[in-house]
Structure 1
Amino acid sequence: MAKPPARLAASPASVTPPLGAKPVPFLAAVGLGLALRFLVPIPAGITVQAWTLLSIFVSTIAGLVLEPLPVGAWAFLSVSTAIATKTLTFPAAFCAFTNDVIWLIVVSFFFARGFEKTGLGQRVATLFVKLFGKSTLGLAYGLSVAEALIAPAMPSTTARAGGIFMPIINSLSLSAGSKPNDPSRKKLGAFLVQSQLQGSVNSSAMFLTAAAQNLLCMKLAAEMGASIVPALCGLLLTPLLMYKLFPPEIKDTPEAPKLADERLVAMGPMSRDERIMLGTMAAAVCLWVAGDMLGISAVTTAMLGLCVLLGSGVLQWRECLAYPAAWDTLFWFAVLVGMSGQLNNLGVITHFASQVGNQLVAANLGWPAVFGLLNVAYYALHYMFASQTAHVGALYSAFLAMMLATGVPPVIAALSLGFMSNLFGSITHFGSGQAAVYYGAGYLTLKEVFSYGALMSVVNLTLWGVVGGAWWKVLGLF
């Protein structure tokens, strides 16, 4: 009788990953929140409830960076802690689930599924390769130019990201073998997503009608030409910078346009489902452009479009139910938006903002120095917000008042804060609707989002401070 084979040592690749939370990141994230709550004195003017919520929020952000659990699971743990400790009531904790931007993101994921299923995404991506595909950098610049051209007519960065650009990027990536949630073969997709995420903030800052928060904070300013030069510099610099710092595996593809042309011929005419998908998207874009005049919001437009796709059979409801990225993003983004909103309601954010402003005003540094420092502080405080519009509503007026009190010229004060309200949209995966869309696609890790978001913060603040400052001087704004 043959002897049984000796037990083989398990290879590192075959070892089952640990179940549950990773102990060290878990303890670090929780410990940071506990230290803030019990070791740091509560500042005067802030309630115990508000300080406890801040400690839970800080622990939540730390967990998003350290990843002791998947993002959705960590958000669930955090919101459960807030409810269990009576820091938030159940309705307050989940109030953001009615936020229209969040549902716009969810529906955008379903639009992307329609692009992929019908083959329209592959057709558009192939056409894109035909026009710009001699190099990967050319693809990034093509997407950046398209974003800048569409931005003035489509006043929703989230709609542009989820309805147009992420489906195209996903199709381009899949055709090159770059898949989401696949660390070994995702470099092209990750590069295009990172380039588009970081570059889109310049498009939003360039035009008054390019983003919803612009209309909230820029009603008094007609000089949007002040953004043209620094925004164009940002659009030109960002793809190249990402190409150098976050390089794709494939760089030059000289034969790609010819192969793409041949592929388009092989695809033949558009199918019924492709035509319905294209018509639905065209109608949605028209409604997004004309929504303000017709009184139709961006999320209503997206919902109507999804109804057409479901009613025509292009998408099945079970396919929507089986799309985990959409529902996962709905949950963790809504939790963070809710927490951020409650921090603002409890006065935590405005307290810190006023403290910063008062210290700067008291220092009597002169208006140029105060101008720069207040813009940086306004920008950095976005780490505590999960919505650009909420940030503007909470802090724009206060920071504008502080600038005016120190002698900053009124127009440049109003404009600069408006520009910052767009530029900080890419510093985290929860800082804006488009960031949630791009992260939710699965091509970027949290470490990549936070690290490159911080890096591009330095680049953008320097670029807009130096180039923008010189351009504003030429325009005579100060």
Structure 2
Amino acid sequence: MVNSDSLFFIYGWIRKSSGSSTALFLTGDAQNMLCMKLAESLGVKIKSPWVVWFKASCFPALASLMLTPFIIYKICPPETKHTIDAPILAKNKLEQMGPVKQNEWIMMGTMLVTVTLWISGGSLSISTVAVAMMGLSILLILGVLSWDDCLSEKTAWDILAWFALLLGMATQLTVLGVVPLLSKSVASFLKSLSVGWHVQLLILQSIYFFIHYFFAGQATHIGALYPAFLSMHLTAKVPGTLSALLLAFNTDLFGALTHYSSGQAAIYYGAGYIKLQDVFKFGVLMAVINLTVWGLIGALWWKILGLY
């Protein structure tokens, strides 16, 4: 039986790692692309978004991935510190799997081509959607995937439908003047505080992060608040690219706040290995770590990159 401290450590490591790893790449999670599409609809157009995203996220994300296990280990050290049987179990599993199969080689090759085109697509005038469809077509034609496999991915179809609705709704809210009106009202209040855009950025990002306690899932949060908050940032004279990226990064990172904050969080909690109060305790801990690592290390890195 694994003790509660060990479970908390494992849960914390995995949850935090998933947040930082999805924030590392533009294609790390579906909502990243949605954020960039919404930003584009508000006039923040980023050339070669995959490259710009990775350059901005790589240093703070990798630093977070390396520091988090150490921080959690110090705060809540697991009782089980040595797993002597783990290498043996891993070796046995690899032997059971056997050598890499043909379909697996095809999958790796297709992913390599797809990611390469995602990176260089901007200079070649190839959209990310076209690249994704090409990759899927290759897998279908070569028999790695079947159409039944695609149809069985109910979550993917659900995301596709919701993203279309959310993107359309956000665009209409902007066109009808709701988002600009809200952003101007908040911007006027922030301006009355007589603080620079750096402080306004900190306030807006913090509100955007912690208000996720009132949302179930990340897609609904994006559809409801991302356009409005990005518009507030722009009204406060925060650089557009920096604003769009930071809001998107926070969207990935606040997925560990609660057991309902993201699809992954619900799955981890549903496994039944961690108590509900520990989930919320962990969420606060992760929020502090996220804001510290990304706020300090990230700010220095983004300054070097010239994002502000």
Contact 1:197 1:435 in 2 (8 A): yes
Deviations 1:90-114 (A, max 9, x none): xxxxxxxxxxxxxxxxxxxxxxxxx
C-alpha distance in 2, partners of 1:241/1:445? 21
Deviations 1:39-89 (A, max 9, x none): xxxxxxxxxxxxxxxxxxxxxxxxxxxxxxxxxxxxxxxxxxxxxxxxxxx
- CA shift in 2, pair 1:405/1:251, >3 Å: same
- CA shift in 2, pair 1:190/1:458, >3 Å: closer
Partner of 1:426: 256
* Greater Cα radius of gyration, structure 1 or 2: 1
Partner of 1:304: 149
Q: CA deviation at 1:249?
A: 1.8
197, 201, 206: which is aligned to 2:15? 197
Q: Quick check: 227-236 or 384-393, which moved more?
A: 384-393
Match for 2:64: what amino acid?
G
- CA shift in 2, pair 1:429/1:268, >3 Å: closer
Partner of 1:446: 276
Identity of aligned residues (%): 40
Q: CA deviation at 1:449?
A: 0.8
Q: In structure 1, the residue corresponding to 2:34 is in which secondary structure? A: helix
Q: What RMSD, in angstroms, separates the aligned Cα atoms of the two structures?
A: 3.9
Contact 1:424 1:431 in 2 (8 A): yes
Match for 2:217: what amino acid?
S
349, 363, 387: which is aligned to 2:217? 387
Q: CA deviation at 1:383?
A: 0.7
Partner of 1:374: 204
What's the TM-score once normalised by structure 1's chain length?
0.45
Q: CA deviation at 1:306?
A: 11
C-alpha distance in 1, partners of 2:251/2:147? 24
Q: CA deviation at 1:230?
A: 0.7
Q: Do structure 1's residue 397 and structure 2's residue 227 form an aligned pair?
A: yes
C-alpha distance in 1, partners of 2:191/2:253? 25
Q: CA deviation at 1:295?
A: 9.4
- CA shift in 2, pair 1:245/1:365, >3 Å: same
Q: CA deviation at 1:268?
A: 10
Match for 2:149: what amino acid?
L
C-alpha distance in 2, partners of 1:200/1:473? 26
Match for 1:205: what amino acid?
A
What's the TM-score once normalised by structure 2's chain length?
0.67
Contact 1:427 1:457 in 2 (8 A): yes
Match for 2:245: what amino acid?
L
Q: In structure 2, the residue corresponding to 1:231 is in which secondary structure? A: helix
TM alignment of 1:29-428, pairs within 5 A: 177-178=1-2, 185-219=3-37, 220-221=45-46, 222=49, 223-224=52-53, 225-253=55-83, 255-256=84-85, 259-260=88-89, 264=92, 270=96, 292-293=132-133, 304=149, 359-428=189-258
Q: In structure 2, the residue corresponding to 1:304 is in which secondary structure? A: helix
Contact 2:216 2:261 in 1 (8 A): yes
Q: CA deviation at 1:432?
A: 0.4
C-alpha distance in 2, partners of 1:474/1:453? 30
- CA shift in 2, pair 1:357/1:449, >3 Å: farther
Contact 2:8 2:278 in 1 (8 A): no
Q: CA deviation at 1:462?
A: 1.7
